[in-house]
């Protein structure tokens, strides 16, 4: 009986990390604009349907566009990233005659405090200081489903000059 329990646990744990075998989508920056005091809209295109990475029967959990403001590692998930921008995405234009999907994400530039348990919006002055030393901000789209490894898109590079342009609007 004890051996059977170990076998069942092994099967359950191995099922939690199934590979999705989906290649990373190529993301291309289109535009950034200020939405309101704390939120900015990032518009980008993809060569894949990011909202349908997993099938409904795969029990998708959801996706998030995550940008690193202080390093080039947008996929950093260990909670050590201090300055980030993140937001959900939604489709602006579905695939029509071309092989391109257009998405938008409303992101908030924030500081992670309390080991990533709390986030506070960055003030314009703080954000400007963080971004002044950079040429671009790296973002990645992460999508998860129960029982699968997370899906990661390719990197999305946002020019800092475009973000700085929007800060004072």
Structure tokens at 98: 């071309």
Angle between helices 124-131 and 160-167 (to 10 degrees): 160
For residues 149 and 144, give the distance between their C-alpha atoms in angstroms, rounded to a whole number: 7
Q: Nearest-CA neighbor of 43 among 101, 84, 96, 127?
A: 101
Backbone angle region of 114, left / alpha / beta, with phi > 0 → left and psi within -120 to 50 → alpha: left
Task: Give the burial class of 17: count Cβ atoms within 10 A of its Cβ; 0-12 exposed, 13-18 middle, 19 or more buried.
Answer: exposed
Distance CA 164, CA 56 (A): 39
Q: What is the pLDDT along the chain (169 residues), one digit of tens a residue?
A: 545 545 445 444 554 556 667 789 999 999 999 999 889 999 999 998 888 887 777 777 888 999 999 876 655 555 568 899 999 999 887 655 567 899 999 999 999 888 778 899 999 999 999 999 899 999 999 988 777 788 899 999 999 999 999 998 8
CA distance linking residue 153 with residue 127, whole number of Å:
25
């Amino acid at each position: 009986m004890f051996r059977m329990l170990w076998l069942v646990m092994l099967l359950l744990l191995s099922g939690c990390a199934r590979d999705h075998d989906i290649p990373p989508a190529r993301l291309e920056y289109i535009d950034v604009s200020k939405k309101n005091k704390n939120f900015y809209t990032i518009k980008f295109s993809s060569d894949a349907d990011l909202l349908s990475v997993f099938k409904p029967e795969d029990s998708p959990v959801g996706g998030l566009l995550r940008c690193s403001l202080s390093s080039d590692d947008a996929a950093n998930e260990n909670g050590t990233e201090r300055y980030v921008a993140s937001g959900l995405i939604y489709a602006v234009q579905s695939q029509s005659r071309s092989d391109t999907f257009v998405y938008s994400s409303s992101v908030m530039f924030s500081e992670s405090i309390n080991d990533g348990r709390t986030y506070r919006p960055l003030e314009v002055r703080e954000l400007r200081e963080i971004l002044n030393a950079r040429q671009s901000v790296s973002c990645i789209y992460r999508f998860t489903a129960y029982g699968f490894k997370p899906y990661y898109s390719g990197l999305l590079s946002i020019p800092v000059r475009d973000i700085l342009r929007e800060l004072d609007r």
